[in-house]
Amino acid sequence: MEFRYLPMTESDKKEMLTVIGASSTDELFSDIPESIRLREDLKLKKPANEYQLKKELTEMARKNVNVKEYTSFLGAGVYDHHIPSIVDHVISRSEFYTAYTPYQPEISQGELQAIFEFQTMISELTGMPVANSSMYDGGTALAEAVNLSAAQTRRKKILVSKTVHPESRAVVETYAKGQNLDIVEIEAEDGITSLSEIEKHLDENTASVVIQYPNFFGQIEPLAKINNLIKEQKKTMFIVSSNPLALGYLTPPGEFGADIVVGDTQVFGIPAQFGGPHCGYFATTSKLMRKIPGRLVGQTTDENGIRGYVLTLQAREQHIRREKATSNICSNQALNALASSVAMSSIGKQGLKIMAALNMKKARYAKHKLEEANIEVVFKTPFFNEIVIKLSKPVSNVNQKLLDKGIIGGYDLGQVYPKLENHMLVAVTEIRTKDEIDKFVKELGDING
């Protein structure tokens, strides 16, 4: 069988073996002890030719209900936004996607500059002076932020609001086990973090307080008040996980005294793709610049004084510090950071506010229509583009019926919040039309009874 990715011919092989001084390629594997040598062929599916494989994959993909053919009101951390056409054209340029980490700056100025621009955009959005080149996703970025706060304050206690994304909290908990941290979950009241619960648990052993803004229920947490509480403990750090699109309209966490701001830029140019790869971001105060995990690109000049960019402050990173590193991150999400940069450039300074406001206005229209249809919208505080509604039936049953009508319903909150049984988290982004929202409300009303 021939393989189009393998260029060696039989005559090449012969010539090369002669140079090596080996009689066969098997001889090159003679250092593998007999006892562990694989004696039979791997049992894998037969190789497929390109045409056949494309057909097979297309059929497999067709088995999935996708958010382009169905109308989706599902969010809960992963959102269906408009992706400008140019995004895929840029990230399909193989000088970008087939490159490694830019360790050789002379031939990697393109990637380095793109990351430098990404860092600038994240810094602008979050209101933080420093941002890194990206993390795996929002969840692991949050876990790294928590680890950083513990290392920085030499404290073990972390307060995490229950209005933080449940899967991010779960990841934080796993990472915390590694560092023997003590996670205290803070109860919510009416859809936002309970300030009195923060007060109750906050003490001189608290490394950080973790808040999501807007929170998992879509509600806008009162960061100003929370920050005032936190500042009563001198060293305690304020960590905010934020949907960066919302920051087009909302005051950024940096202006509310946040020490670390993290989140996911999936909202900018990255398709849902079943939850990954997305793109975490990580932004901090200047004080934490030399503690930040992951790669950083800095501006400098070459021997001739030409402006250029390099990976910098590498002494923080695992390949230099090894066992002294506080993070082990190596690969990041550079290509997705590029996708988000292109999307952010396309949306631009003016467009961002318009896009954020579109989300808010359409979500408010949905809220209004739902209430008209006698479906209870549970929380009353200001929100971004998600709302929580209370249904009379299990969410999974409702969603099944919505699916028959071509609609992907919202997230079933009862799965992780026992008190919110039969509650659905509904996301309304800028791409939902009035007609789609009207239809959703009508069908939901009919099903709900």
Q: For the sheet with 206-213, list strands across it.
A: 130-131, 280-284, 260-264, 237-242, 206-213, 157-161, 182-186
Nearest to 129 by CA among 288, 311, 308, 360: 288
CA torsion sign, 314 to 315 to 317 to 318? Answer: positive
Residue 334 lies near another protein (rule: CB under 8 A)? yes
Cα–Cα dist 202/258, whole Å: 16
Query: Contact region for another protein (CB under 8 A) — 174-182, 186-194, 195-203, 233-241?
Result: 174-182
Q: DSSP assignment of 360-394, as one string?
A: HHHHHHHHHHHHHTTPEE---S-BSSEEEEE-SS-
- Residues 428 and 381: their CA atoms lie apart, in Å, by 17
Count the site residues for another protein by CB under 8 A.
209
Going 169 to 174 to 176 to 182, the CA torsion angle's sign is positive
Residue 355 touches another protein, criterion: CB under 8 A = yes
Secondary structure class of 273 (helix, strand, coil): helix
In whole angstroms, how close is the CB of 201 to another protein at the nearest point? 22
Q: Which of residues 92-121 bind another protein (CB under 8 A)?
A: 92-102, 104-111, 113-117, 119-121
Q: Compute the least distance from the CB of residue 420 to another protein, in Å.
A: 15
Site for another protein in 56-95 (CB under 8 A): 56-69, 72, 74, 76-78, 80, 82, 84, 86, 88-90, 92-95
Closest distance of CB 258 from another protein, Å: 14
Does 367 bind another protein (CB under 8 A)? Our answer is no
Among 182, 201, 233, 351, binds another protein (CB under 8 A): 351
Query: Which residues inside 274-333 make contact with another protein, applying CB under 8 A?
Result: 274-277, 279, 289, 295-304, 306-310, 312-315, 317-333
443 part of the interface to another protein, by CB under 8 A: no
Other Cβ atoms closer than 10 A to 398 = 21
Select from 129, 257, 414, 445 the one that contacts another protein (CB under 8 A).
129
148: enclosing H helix or E strand:
helix 138-153
Under the criterion CB under 8 A, does residue 233 sit at the interface with another protein? no
If one asks whether residue 258 binds another protein (CB under 8 A), the answer comes out as no
Residue 66 vs 392, nearer CB to another protein: 66
Examine residue 163 and tell whether it contacts another protein (CB under 8 A).
no
Q: What's the token pair of residue 75? A: 């969010």
How buried is residue 154: exposed, middle or buried, by Cβ count under 10 Å (0-12/13-18/19+)?
Answer: exposed
* Only segment of 130-138, 154-162, 234-242, 439-447 that touches another protein (CB under 8 A): 130-138
**Both tokens of residue 45?**
């599916």
Stretch that binds another protein, among 49-57, 156-164, 186-194, 226-234 (CB under 8 A): 49-57
CB nearer another protein, residue 200 or residue 353: 353
Is there binding between residue 30 and another protein (CB under 8 A)?
yes
| Closer by beta carbon to another protein, 206 or else 284 | 284
- Residue matched to tokens 């999974």: 396
Q: Kindly tell me which residue out of 411, 413, 423, 443 binds another protein, with binding defined by CB under 8 A.
A: 411
Least Å distance, CB 304 to another protein, is: 6
Q: What is the dihedral of CA 227, 155, 125, 96, to 10 degrees?
A: -170
Q: How far is the CB of 355 from another protein (least distance, A)?
A: 6
Cα–Cα distance measured from residue 181 to residue 154, given in angstroms and rounded to the nearest whole number: 11
Distance CA 378, CA 425 (A): 10
User: Interface with another protein by CB under 8 A: which range of 125-133, 204-212, 227-235, 440-448?
Assistant: 125-133
- Is 43 a binder of another protein (CB under 8 A)? yes
Residue 21 or 234: which CB sits closer to another protein? 21
Say how many residues make up the chain.
449
Q: Binding to another protein (CB under 8 A): which residues in 176-215? A: 177-180
Applying CB under 8 A, does 373 fall inside the site for another protein? no
Which sign, positive or negative, has the C-alpha torsion 265, 266, 267, 269? positive
**Is position 147 an interface residue for another protein (rule: CB under 8 A)?**
yes
3-class state of residue 52 by DSSP: helix
**Minimum distance, C-beta of residue 440 to another protein, in the bound complex (Å):** 13
Give the pair of three-digit tokens for residue 118: 């990404």
